Copies of this chain bind each other. A is one copy, B any other.
Amino acid sequence: MPRRPGPGPRRPTIADIAQRAGVSKGSVSYALNGNPGLSEPTRRRILAIAEEVGWQPNRAARALSASRSGACGLALARPARTLAYEPFFSKLLSGIEAELSSNQIALVLQIVEDVGAEAEALRRWWAERRVDGVLLVDLRVDDPRVAVVQELDLPTVVVGGPGATHGLPFFPGNDAGGVRQIVDHLVGLGHTRIDRVAGSTAFASTQVRTREFRQALARSGARGRTISTDYTSAAGAEATRRFLTRAPVPTAIVYDSDIMAVAGLSTAQEMGVAVPGELAVVSFDDSILCEVVRPSLTACARDVEAYGARAARALVAVIEGEQVAFGDEEPSSLVCRGSTVA
């Protein structure tokens, strides 16, 4: 790689500061890091000059010296098409980013096609010392990424879980609690036939929801079926059609994502099924989508940004070598809208 310092203004280094202050590089480093061993006047003089010239540490130099990159990685194993439509990721990203940048840590993002590619990205980041730690989202059943981070001893926090975490610190979403809230709400309204359009069974979170859904129904004496999908609106519409045309016809359908819920709502309306009169519709994830359609959709809301921030904070702690307790389940609250109550 050729040297290309560029013609722009020069960035000050500690050597520049040292020269201006009439001391050595080492003294400047001590002053800037607050290490003892310098007289107060000298320290103040150095800091004043550093401030004046607007010195900022060269990240590469610091990273090289400290064997720390000052960055965390987030590889999203999601086809772009899916990513784009899920406000969840944007919010999560934003929460993570806010927390990391308040710690002066950069976020390195990579969007890849599948978990295999994500595992490769993790290995490369590790080998290049690009990141000090990583966040794993959307844990799969038998996820190959878990083995990779354990083999490399790469500081990791799982966003999601439990299940398949193999001892990694994790922050469960609101899967179990959310399902309970939704079922309780519907049962409270008198529904006894509640079907569910689920996401992919490959996700650990889907399995948690499915188990909890079955238990919640059993507890309350209601009954219902589950169809697993790929989260697309087409699949949501198709599953809705299936439920509504095959006995026993449900009086409520729960969807694992907002996109599918909206698609289901449209499908029901096209089939002449009145919502909420004949059919109650609930989305698991809340979003603006749920608000703008008519009727608006009852959904299970959580503070996704805070969730991302909590996970990022835990990752920082793990990188610092602290023992991190596994997180409690994310609190959520059911937002009741027109799709379940008139």
A63 proximity list for chain B (CB < 8 A): 59-60, 63
Per-position binary interface string of chain A over residues 48-80, scored 1 when its CB falls under 8 Å from any chain B CB and 0 otherwise = 000000111111111111111101000000001
**Interface hits, A99-130 → B, CB 8 Å:** 101, 106-111, 124, 126-130
Interface magnitude class on chain A: 35 or more
Instruction: Check A60 against B56 for contact (C-beta < 8 Å).
Output: no
Secondary structure at the A interface, as helix, strand, loop or mixed, is helix
Number of copies: 2
A315 to chain B, nearest CB (A): 15
CB contact between A128 and one of B2, B56, B269, B287 (< 8 Å): that residue: B56
Q: Which residues of B are found within 8 Å of A110, using beta-carbon distances? A: 97, 101, 106-107
* Chain B residues whose C-beta falls within 8 Å of the C-beta of A293 in the assembled complex: 262, 266, 292-293
| CB pairs A–B below 8 angstroms (26 shown) | A1-B62, A1-B66, A4-B321, A7-B153, A8-B152, A9-B151, A9-B152, A54-B127, A56-B124, A57-B128, A59-B60, A60-B63, A63-B63, A80-B305, A84-B87, A86-B90, A90-B90, A106-B108, A106-B110, A107-B110, A233-B288, A233-B292, A259-B292, A262-B292, A266-B294, A289-B289
